[in-house]
A and B are shown apart, each in its own frame.
Chain A
Amino acid sequence: MEVSRLLTVVVILLGGGIFLSPSGLFAEPISVTDFRGKQITLEKPADRVICLLESALSGLYMLGAEERLVGISTNIYQESVFAYYAAMDERIRSKSLATPGNWDFVNIESVVALQPDLVIIWSGQEESIQSMEEKGIPVYGVFIERFEDIHREIEALGKLTGTEGRAEELVRMVREELDTVRERIVGKEKSGVSGVKKPRVYFMWAQGTLETSGRNSTVQELIELAGGVNVAAGIEQEHLVANLENILVWNPEVIVMWCNDRMDPVDVERLPSWRSVAAIKNGRVREFPDPFSCDFWTLKYLFSVEMVARWCHPERFEKVELESLRSDLLGKLYGGKLGSTLPSLEAEEGVKP
């Protein structure tokens, strides 16, 4: 009698356990929609992930899901980002992680040989994606057009790798930080409109002094969040070559340069045809320190916003060294994996592919 009662209890407990456990028989499958609009369904969180997009890769590290990686993109080993990933992951330091492709090509054979249960890639790679999906490999396609897309991507990756908690935490943290920045700039008034003067900002890509971004771009968002006005907002394009005459007329007060290995702010300040520009007269030309920390295709856009906000409204922020701001934010995002072992900004200059 006791034995059958005991057995019943055990069965009930076991059954309940199976029901309730997330990886149980009746656990819900994981389902997300990628940027192509395609639904990706996994039975359980992926643990053999190939990530061929560096921005998504840094997301995985922020989520703490890097253990699940079996393949990364070739440029990780070749570019300046190598130092950072090497600091976070022994496998990358020893170059032992497979590299079956890059953002613009995929070696299908190598991918299949790694037996992945998830591949993350730029959604524009239609042919390669089709090849992989035909072989039954789930593919998550990424296409970032605005910062909201990054949040969406992190949340999706969180679900796909069973790190939703961390994903939520990250997105919440970024949103809170952005709120803080906004409050600093406009004060604690309810409406965002105030007597704050928003400086005119010109964003300069590294390909050339006239290369900038217009209204429909993350650069625009970046500048707005930092409390500035994009001088090129009158033009719709995401990436365009401006006419020098227009730049002189727009007369930006701050010039923000993307990481540029040909020119430094002093070189821009010395350009003879630019000498009448306000930003140059007042010495307000700044350059982003390194592509890894400032990458605004990732949650690190927060750091970019923080930097540009300080350049636009220096009087509204406490004086803080760029170096410590950087290690602080990166530490928070990467959960302490980076921070103490951060490649320094000066050493950064010497790190070349």
Chain B
Amino acid sequence: MNKHLLRYVLYFLPLPVFVLSLLLGPSASAGMGKILSWLFGQPDPELNEELIKTILWDVRLPRVALTFLVGGSLAAAGNSLQALFRNPLVSPYILGLSSGAAFGAALAVTVAWLPIQLSAFVFGGIAVGLSYFLGRSRKTVSVVSLILSGVIVTGIFTALLTVIQFLTDPFKLQTIVHWTMGNLHNASWDKLESAGIGIGIGIVWLFLLRWRMNVLALGDDEARAVGMNPERERLLVLVPATLAASASIAVAGVIGLIGLAVPHMVRMMLGPDNRQTLPASFTFGGAFLLAVDTCSRTVASFEIPVGVFTTLLGGPFFIFLLKKARIGWEV
């Protein structure tokens, strides 16, 4: 398909997915048929208008909106970090974001007075900040040193998380484990508000930087030669990417695959120019996660953490990548 056409398909994909997601759900009384009847004013004795309105407004709409934002921001953050690290196999969690946030959530679950979302958000940010400062040597922050300190920080927070898991009682342990699997079933207008700010600022900021990511992605020397300071640019990209991804994790737990696979797929379809891939990653990532979540909540009578599905999909995805031998690592 023509690249140009493909681009617009990716940009507008969210619309049909959004609408479909609103129409689908596990309960028969708010099933697609009933909603369409209600919308088009068809008489139906079994129609419970109040119920449909409540489900659409209080349950599905916030969930669909939140899922889209989370998927989109993870994909956009992933895209940006892949440019920053000059590596198409980087995920937004590479600098310890997910382990820091998981630790924050576990801490909050154990210490009842700490709000889980805030704790996850703050500790996610602390982990990334720590990676960044550890990775600095003589005022330069090279890609390799960042990745290495990311590995160290991830290890530290994972260890701390393990300690908490060990000390806590079985009920809390279960809560912690469920949280790390990633879930959207508690979506609400409140969560949308609290996450929306962080995600919004992060995404807009990244959007503004999308061309500069192209320059950064060519290499440090190359960037410096044309007048850009690579260390500063890295920080300028890292901050909003972390903000958006951290806000997402805080409300939805750790959802894997999206931040890594979606930008990759988008790049395969549109090429590596971040001016196109960044917005497309956002829309496609949002639509993708939305599709997965809608399937999972419609099919089963109880909730399965969405992270389970994304992780399961991850395996075959990487096998597919290996077969196509499109992986390259240049630092």
- A and B touch in their complex, CB below 8 angstroms: yes
- Specify which of B54, B175, B185, B190 is in contact with A207 (CB 8 Å cutoff): B175
Given the known interface contacts A248-B59, A249-B29, the answer about A243 and B185 at a Cβ–Cβ threshold of 8 Å is yes
Residues of A contacting B: mostly: loop
Q: Does A114 contact B (CB under 8 A)?
A: no
- Specify which of B50, B174, B190 is in contact with A272 (CB 8 Å cutoff): B190
- Quote the shortest CB–CB distance from A199 to chain B (angstroms): 19
* A235-B188 in contact (CB<8A): no
* B55-A234 in contact (CB<8A): no
Chain B residues within CB distance 8 Å of chain A: 25-27, 29-30, 50-51, 54-55, 58-60, 62, 112, 169-172, 174-175, 178, 183, 185-186, 188-190, 297, 301-303
Residues of B contacting A: mostly: helix
Q: How many A-B residue pairs have CB under 8 A?
A: 82
* A235-B302 in contact (CB<8A): yes
Q: Which residue of B lies closest to A105 (CB)?
A: B166
- Specify which of A79, A234, A237, A248 is in contact with B169 (CB 8 Å cutoff): A79
Can you list 30 A-B pairs with a CB-CB distance of less than 8 A? A75-B169, A104-B170, A206-B171, A207-B174, A208-B178, A210-B185, A237-B302, A241-B178, A242-B302, A243-B27, A243-B297, A243-B303, A244-B185, A244-B186, A245-B25, A245-B26, A245-B27, A245-B55, A245-B60, A245-B297, A249-B27, A249-B29, A249-B51, A261-B112, A262-B112, A272-B189, A272-B190, A273-B54, A273-B59, A273-B188
- Quote the shortest CB–CB distance from A52 to chain B (angstroms): 14
Q: Which residue of B lies closest to A210 (CB)?
A: B185
Q: Does A163 contact B (CB under 8 A)?
A: no
* A276-B174 in contact (CB<8A): no
Q: Does A143 contact B (CB under 8 A)?
A: no
For the complex, count residues of A whose C-beta is within 8 A of B.
Answer: 29
In Å, the complex CA distance between A103 and B303 comes to 28
B residues within 8 A CB of A207?
171-172, 174-175, 178
Chain A residues within CB distance 8 Å of chain B: 75, 79, 103-104, 205-210, 214, 234-235, 237, 240-246, 248-249, 261-262, 272-273, 275-276
* B303-A210 in contact (CB<8A): yes
In Å, the complex CA distance between A352 and B170 comes to 16
Given the known interface contacts A209-B186, A276-B50, the answer about A248 and B112 at a Cβ–Cβ threshold of 8 Å is no
In Å, the complex CA distance between A235 and B26 comes to 13
* A245-B30 in contact (CB<8A): yes
A79, A209, A249, A275 interface centre (most CB from chain B within 10 Å)? A249
